[in-house]
Structure 1
Amino acid sequence: MFAEVIIPLALPKNYTWAVPEHLLEQVKPGVRVEVGLKQTKRYAGVVKRIHDERPEFFEAKDILNVLDAEPIVYPEQLKLWEWIARYYMCSEGEVMAAALPSHFKLSSETQLVFNEEYGENFDQLDHDEYLVGEALLLKKELKIGEVQQLLDSSHVYPVIKRLIDKKVCFVWEALKETYTPKKETFVLLNPVYDNEDELAKLLNEDKKLQRAEKQMELLLSYLHLMKTEGEVSKPQLLKKSNATDAQLKGLVDKHILFLEKRHVDRLMYLPRNINIDFTLTPAQQTALEAVQASLVEKPVCLLHGVTSSGKTQVYIKLIEQFVRKGKQVLYLLPEIALTSQIIRRLQRHFGGYIGIYHSKFNQNERLEIWNKVKNGELKIVLGARSSLFLPFSDLGLIVGDEEHDASYKQQDPAPRYHARDGAVYYASLFNARVLLGSATPSVESYYNAQTQKYGFVTLNERFGGVQLPIINIIDTKKILRPDRDKVIISPELQAAIENTLQKNKQVILFQNRRGYSPYQICQACGWIPQCKYCDVSLTFHKNTNKLHCHYCGTVYPPVYTCMACGSDRFLTRNFGTEKIEEQLEEMFPKYRIARMDVDSVKGKTAHDSLIQQFEQQKLDMLVGTQMVVKGLDFEHVELVGILDADSLLSFADFRVNERAFQLMEQVSGRAGRKDTQGHVMIQVSNTRHPVLGYVQQHDYHSFYLHEIEGRKQFAYPPFSRCILLTFKHYVKDVADAAANSVAASLKTAFGNYLVGPAEPVVNRIRNQYLMELLIKLPREAQIIQHCKQQIQEQIAILHNHQYFKKVVVIVDVDTM
């Protein structure tokens, strides 16, 4: 017998190993097996299938060992991996590497493992160390070969040694399990004292105990905790009684208490109960019934509900029905920032039935959630896109909240999958149902609903009958500034902020740029400081007093003299969240202001604590990037300001109008969610842009009709399938030649569908030059499949050519 095994490498097809006689009963699909490649390399791979087809062109090596008694993944997951690999043009090994917690991915190759305790601040690292550190932060593990590829050098050992010395990472060479269960010491009462008379005698008559006051206090604290909690851990007891280890040891030596070590969960779970303590409004109830009817007829339904219409409550009622049937539910969210608010709501209603899964959890915590989902202990999982890979055994429903969000699409590394589309396929394997929800659906999903591929339900009434916010457009061209820079806060917006704060209401200001100033410019000659490794200007961050590249992460000292003409007169142009925060502190010194962006919100609980402070009105104003836009619910926010709408409306991308409408409508939806009508002020110079009119009217349907015409005319999705090929190389001419070579080969069969090759807007990142080739294919499965095969063949031919051997080709299917 032979086994097709998936190993966590980017191999074009899965390798086959022979199953030795003595392992025949243990080897089954879904278990991990230890296999060898070349002479010394060892991998833990997942068995995909067992068969009796002897390989024709090579002698199959034996499987060395079986690592699991039971499968760690189910057949449905293996089918999902296969579909993602086939559809998104990557290998099943790459999908496996993304899907499994690190503790399941074992290898005997020398690997660097990221030290989670080091954190995410790489300011102390030089450029090469920074590149490897950042790659480790993203991937958690790197092979030596990957480091050589990353630095384009075979001499990487000095860099690796410095990283180990600085404790950024560790070396891991042995094939071994790295998961260790967490143990905790629990305190137990001697069974002798289970008898109430014996316990009373001990407390009232034992002279030694009565003389040891602290021990007596400790014992009484223990008895109280036992009564309220049911079991008592050692840290819990010492904290409550304010006692020391020595005092506890005294009670243990007297055989009154015993200590016992036990395996415990790293994550705390609430008691398991369902408590739905609200009733739906008539509009919500109608929407729920329409969703239920739709899901009977079609597997996918789109719920288009205006902001603050109470979509979450409709989800909760639907989830309750599936949980009561014993089914599992996956609740997908695009951002970790959203999970903290939603989890508090869901825990109130479902208690310990619910678990969370996202990248901020460490690997041990992820493994424990994985196992609880696999054995059916967790009925509801709330998570970001990676939670799609969890091993559900009886999935009944997937809720895709904020389904329009671009964060559902993985950008780097492979697999570059879209969690929303993957969810629709994954649900079909269980015959489960999918509910997609948004106030601003993606054009593709809305098109699917309009063409009746998906069910469609609308919820047009805000919860509590609150009106949608009034939207004012402020023309920044009419506001003159002596330095001709952009207006940060117009007099009109300043007056509205003052008025809102005086009413004890809150304000959110949105700007889609972090940092202090997106670029500095020499007043004398116009020179702008740029990154050495990327073709972009540097952003000044006042917080660190450094210039940062937002593409490769390199940090530079501030520039005081122009490198071109020597002048020391610089102007800062445009503004980021740091500069807004500084200006607000000057304008409104009495009020409490916070910033919410990637730089200010770090660590597992940072999002949650900032959101809770704002919810509890411990803050008056919140300035932020897209983090403040997405689905957050603050009942005291009355005013929202969009400070630079021009930056949203001027990207070179076919989705620019869609993204701009979604961002502006979503951020305006944070205003006036309870009692009073909210107010939104949009600062913009291009006041005639058609998207602004649709936002002012909150008219998604008219926006969609306008947008779909343009998409149809120029054959963009949903009328085509887009595949983007990006060619990367350290020499510009090589990247150009590689892109043109592949384009020429594809031209014969797909000439009408090719756009490019051309340089992207940013044509150099991390010292690699980029060229792009876009393929817009008609929605015909046969043509798409043929094109994908041709692309893979052409990439293989390209890499066989000595000149193009080191060209990196990235294939992005359904590019965002």
Structure 2
Amino acid sequence: MKFVDVILPLPLSAAYTYALPEEQQAAVRPGCRVIVPFGAKKFYTAIVVDVHGRQPQGYAVKTVWEILDSDPVLLPVQLDFWRWLADYYLCAVGDVYKAALPSGMKLESESKVVVNSEYAGNAVLSEREQRVVTWVSRRSEPTVTQLQKECEDFRVLRVVRSLMDKGVLAMKEEVKRSYKPRTEVHVRLSETYFDEDKLHELLEGLGRAPKQQSLLLKYLELAGAGTAFRLRNPKMLAEVGRKALVEAVGGSLAICRALEEKGVLEAYPYEIGRLAHTEVTETIGVSPLSEAQARAFRELEEAFARHPVCLLHGVTSSGKTEVYIHLIRQMIAEGKQVLYLVPEIVLTTQLTDRLYRVFGNRMGVYHSKFPDAERVEIWQKQLSEQPYDIIVGVRSSVFLPFRHLGLVIVDEEHEQSYKQQEPAPRYHARNAAIMLARMYGARTLLGTATPALETYYNVRMGKYGLVELTERFGQVRLPEVEVVDIKELQRKRRMAGPFSPRLLEEMRRALENKEQVILFQNRRGYAPMIECHTCGWVPKCKNCDVSLTYHKGLNQMTCHYCGYTCNVPTRCPACEGTELVQRGFGTEKVEDAVHQVFPEAAVARMDLDTTRTRSAYEGILEDFQSGKTDVLIGTQMVTKGLDFERVSVVGILNADAMLNIPDFRSFERAFQLMAQVAGRAGRRSRQGRVILQTKSPDLPLIRQVTEHDYFGLYVGQMEERQMFVYPPFCRLIYVYMKHKRADVLDHLAAEMGSRLRQVFGSRILGPDAPPVARIQLLYIRKIVVKVELGASLAKVREQLLYLRQNLMAHPDYRSAQIYYDVDPM
């Protein structure tokens, strides 16, 4: 008897053992998917991690329900990587599995409600129960979700449970297969006519049906029938699509179907997939490197000989991407694969167009805006004999299978977007990519103009290699950053909405010269909040401890944490006052202000509200790239490594909003955002100009931004962090606790803090309420654990996992959530 240990896509750390059916014992290997029963009635797709003959003792072993794969979909290195992620980021390996595989590869059973066939019809039913029974009877096995949509005025699950207790309804589990291969109808010559004499006789007989004869001749031409007949091998007939065949002769579908009815052609479904099918291998040559780029390329080769991880610290518009392209070409020539990580989907459009012109169909793109079925097919292609040589993607791309990974490029490595926040695993893709590359024996290249301070510290300590690219491509000077003190301007009432007179002057000059402008405001919506002028009342979210943001386009108030919306108030509920004023401004209000000042200018806005679809990103960027848009307004999306040659002016509308965040990284992030958005100006022929509006012009950070002084920022921040013991001089782990009741949560947080202090002493900070202390009806408390660099991480994890397990077993805390965020951002 054989057994398998499997991982389930659930927050479970342990592998579970199932028995293999006798007839399938030779058909499964580690890395294959199987469908297994779990719990009372549910079925899940599990990943086999071991096949053995050790029968578990003390309980009845359930049997594998179905084997889905003949070949593994998970490589051994991937499984090791999953285990490392789960161990390092203090989560279950089931959490990693759930995040790693596309949904279409994780079949789950779906609960459907049916009328019990043994029900005698004599139960006393309430009005709601009768309503549910009637609706179920009229539908074909609805799900609980469908029932809830139909019966919105009450909690349907409670009623369904009552009806199940009375024997009226029953639950039925059905495995849902969400992925279906894309197919098209192809045609082939039937076996009867794969005979030259019969085929000639047929063609002569079709003389009375010239359109059918013409279509059959075209089929024979497209299928390459001459070679197949000569070698007497029907398998050599090429695939021919029915639609393509009909279009090739300019006929109608009826002609083809007539030949099918006569038994001449046979129609059948042919799997074509959803990925782009082109025969392009290399469309243009690689551009030659400038002298500075060539020097950086040589230095990288030397640095990689000494360090597996290197930082390419290149100023904005220095041509780092061109260096990447030469490295990729070198890797492909060595038979290796490349993973090219970008922090945001917004970067992939420009980048993939550029890479595709060089590498053609050797490159694949992987991100969450793609349909799930397309992501399944990319996963399958990576397991095939002809995988992509280059994968360009966001953080989830680290989970893809690679057989010959040689290089991982982490572009804009400083970006917060590389950190997964919710749900688990809360991994950092940069750090995960470094570990993944190490497991493959590959190299990792980190590239940015504004490195994360921890990364630069690793360089200074000799852990990473360093190559610097200090001049812009074409020797264009870095943009001139001009600081405008808006505190004084606001006092004198000289501001035109969010714009200073100096910014308006530069915008007007740029637009007159047919140049483009980027305006950066890191807050979406029209106004961050509405306030009663009389009593100070502010509309807040009913689920979260935050004020609601006013969105003028939607004419509603919205919570940016849980999505709750409500109508815009016209009267204050506290004092009945009607003077409700808007406080602050978001990108939507900036857009309105630009329209008012420059009515002739074409304006676009790029934020989460305008880029919810894959095509929306591409459309905004394409219009700006082609010059159809004059002014682009955006949140931090516009700070990414985008390349626009006609941008001469960048406006940073409110630097202070970035400086006043209660976090030890606030100055680092503010510098990175401002330096990156400034780098969008003057990237081709002449020096650009940046207008930085602030109420704190004397801050050292503002001077560092104007002078492009990254090293000055690094030295100042390292002194502070060493003094107060923050990364990179320690490791941080945040302990988050959530509960729907504040009193229970306070007791839990106090208990957790007390127990942590018994183990870690003064290295514990808190518990405290975070800046947003309630989200989606759950109250939140946070504890900070500082871990010395020399401490045993294995022992720290062991203690933290034990404490969580111990507290969660307490009856008062079973409905609480406790989780850890390792290396938080």
Q: Same fold (TM over 0.5)?
A: yes
1:253–1:589 CA distance, 2 compared to 1 (3 A)? farther
Q: Kindly indicate whether the alpha-carbon contact (under 8 Å) linking 2:312 and 2:447 is maintained by their aligned counterparts in 1.
A: yes
| Contact persistence 1:486–1:573 (CA under 8 A) | no
Q: Which residue of 2 aligns with 1:281?
A: 290
Match for residue 732 of structure 1? 742
Secondary structure of the structure 1 residue equivalent to 2:36: strand
Report the 3-state secondary structure (helix = DSSP H, G, I; strand = E; otherwise coil) of the residue aligned with 1:330: strand
Task: Report the counterpart of residue 657 of structure 2 in structure 1.
Answer: 647
Structure 1 pair 39/766, CA: closer, same or farther in 2 (3 Å)?
A: closer
| SS in structure 2 of the partner of residue 424 of structure 1 | helix
2:455 to 427, 445, 452: 445
Q: Residue 480 of structure 1: SS of its match in structure 2?
A: helix
- Give unpaired runs (5+ residues) of structure 2: 114-142, 149-153, 162-170, 225-237
1:574 alignment partner in structure 2 = 584
Find the counterpart in structure 1 of residue 321 from structure 2: 312
Identical-pair percentage: 42
Structure-to-structure mapping, 1:20-419, within 5 angstroms: 22-51=23-52, 55=56, 58=59, 60-108=61-109, 110=111, 155=155, 157=157, 173-175=173-175, 177-186=177-186, 233=241, 245=253, 261-274=269-282, 275-375=284-384, 376-419=386-429
Distance 1:350 1:607, change over 3 A: same
Task: Say if 1:432 and 1:246 are closer, same or farther in 2 by CA, change over 3 A.
Answer: same
CA distance, structure 2, for counterparts of residue 258 and residue 41 of structure 1: 42
- How far residue 698 of structure 1 moved from its aligned partner, in angstroms, is 0.8
Q: Deviations over 1:656-710 (max 9, x none)?
A: 0111000000000111110011111111111122211111111111111111111
Cα distance, 1:604 vs structure 2: 2.1
Aligned to 1:702: 712
The offset of 1:16, in angstroms, is 2.9
- Measure, in 1, the Cα distance between the counterparts of 2:244 and 2:635: 40
Tell me the alpha carbon deviations over residues 555-611 of structure 1, each in whole angstroms, 9 at most, x when there is no partner: 100101011100101111100011111111111111110111111112222111211
Instruction: Give the Cα separation in 2 of the matches to 1:451 and 1:492.
Output: 43
Alpha-carbon distance in structure 2 between the residues aligned to 1:747 and 1:475: 46
Q: Secondary structure of the residue that 1:352 maps to in structure 2? A: helix
> Is the CA contact 1:409–1:416 (under 8 Å) kept in the aligned structure 2?
yes
SS class of match (2:304): helix
2:611 is paired with a residue of what secondary structure?
coil
* Counterpart code for 2:676: Q
Distance 2:370 2:507 in 1: 38
1:531 aligned residue (531, 541, 544): 541
C-alpha distance after superposition, 1:762-790 (max 9, x if no partner):
111111111110111111251x3222222
Does residue 548 in structure 1 map to residue 558 in structure 2?
Answer: yes
- Rounded to whole Å, the distance in 2 between the matches of 1:691 and 1:2 is 62
TM-score normalised by structure 2 residue count: 0.85
Q: Which of 711, 720, 739 is the equivalent residue of 2:730? A: 720
Amino acid of the residue matched to residue 89 of structure 2? Y
Q: Identify if the C-alpha distance between structure 1 residues 567 and 348 changes in structure 2 by more than 3 Å, giving closer, same or farther.
A: same
Cα deviation per residue 1:611-646 (whole Å; 9 max; x = unaligned)?
111111111111011111111111111111111111
Find out whether 1:458 has 2:468 as its counterpart: yes
> Quick one: distance in 2 between partners of 1:432 and 1:440?
24
CA change 1:232–1:661 in 2 (3 A) is farther
Tell me the amino acid that sits aligned with residue 705 of structure 2.
V
Indicate the residue corresponding to 2:139 in structure 1. none
Q: Deviations over 1:542-563 (max 9, x none)?
A: 1100000111100100101011
Output the CA distance in 1 between the equivalents of 2:104 and 2:766: 43
Give the Cα separation in 2 of the matches to 1:41 and 1:14.
17
Residues 590 and 79 (structure 1), Cα distance of their counterparts in 2 relative to 1, 3 Å cut: same
Question: Is the 2:33–2:72 Cα contact (8 Å) retained in structure 1?
Answer: yes
Unmatched runs of 5 consecutive residues or more in structure 1: 113-142, 149-153, 162-170
Q: Distance in 2 between matches of 1:21 and 1:370?
A: 30
Which of the residues 585, 602, 607 maps onto 2:612?
602
- Tell me how large the CA RMSD over aligned residues is: 3.5
Separation of aligned partners in 1, 2:106 and 2:56: 26
Shift of 1:62: 4.1
The AA in structure 1 aligned to 2:498 is: I
Note closer, same or farther for the CA distance 1:407–1:207 as it changes in structure 2 (3 Å cut): same
* Distance in 1 separating the partners of 2:172 and 2:473: 54
SS in 2 for 1:468: coil
- What residue is the counterpart of 2:804 in the other structure? 795
One-letter amino acid of the counterpart of residue 383, structure 1: G
Contact 1:476 1:487 in 2 (8 A): no
Q: Give deviations 1:735-792, integer Å, cap 9, x for gaps.
A: 111111011011112022101001111111111111110111111251x322222221
Distance 1:235 1:160 in 2: 49
Cα deviation for residue 56 of structure 1 reads: 5.8
Q: 1:283 to 1:6 in 2, by over 3 A?
A: same
| Deviations 1:302-355, CA, capped at 9 Å, x for gaps | 100000000000000000011111111110011011111100011100001000
Does 2:502 align with 1:492? yes
Greater CA drift, 230-239 or 575-584? 230-239
Question: Quick check: 1:645–1:684 contact (8 Å CA) kept in 2?
Answer: yes
1:741 is paired with a residue whose SS is helix
Q: Which residue of 2 aligns with 1:476?
A: 486
**Deviation at residue 15 of structure 1 after TM alignment:** 2.3
Matching residue within 768, 772, 775 for 2:782: 772
Say if 1:287 and 1:172 are closer, same or farther in 2 by CA, change over 3 A.
farther
Moved more, 789-798 or 248-257: 248-257
CA distance in 1, matches of 2:682, 2:56: 66
CA distance in 2, matches of 1:76, 1:517: 49
> Could you tell me how far 1:24 is from its partner in structure 2?
3.8
- Encode CA deviations 1:785-812: one digit per residue, 9 max, x unaligned: 2222222112112122121111111211
Amino acid at match of 2:486: T
Query: Structure 1 CA distance, aligned partners of 2:210 and 2:694?
Result: 76
Give the match's secondary structure for 1:479. Answer: helix
Alignment CA distance shift 1:52-1:473 (3 Å):
same
In the other structure, the counterpart of 1:669 is 679
Larger Cα Rg: Structure 1 or Structure 2?
2
Taking a change above 3 Å as real, the CA distance of residues 564 and 55 of structure 1, as seen in their structure-2 partners, is same
CA–CA distance in structure 1, aligned partners of residues 15 and 365 of structure 2: 32
- Offset of 1:255 from its aligned partner? 10
2:63 and 2:586 map into 1 onto residues whose CA distance is 59
- Stretch of structure 1 that moved more, 236-245 or 662-671: 236-245
Matched to 2:184, the amino acid is E
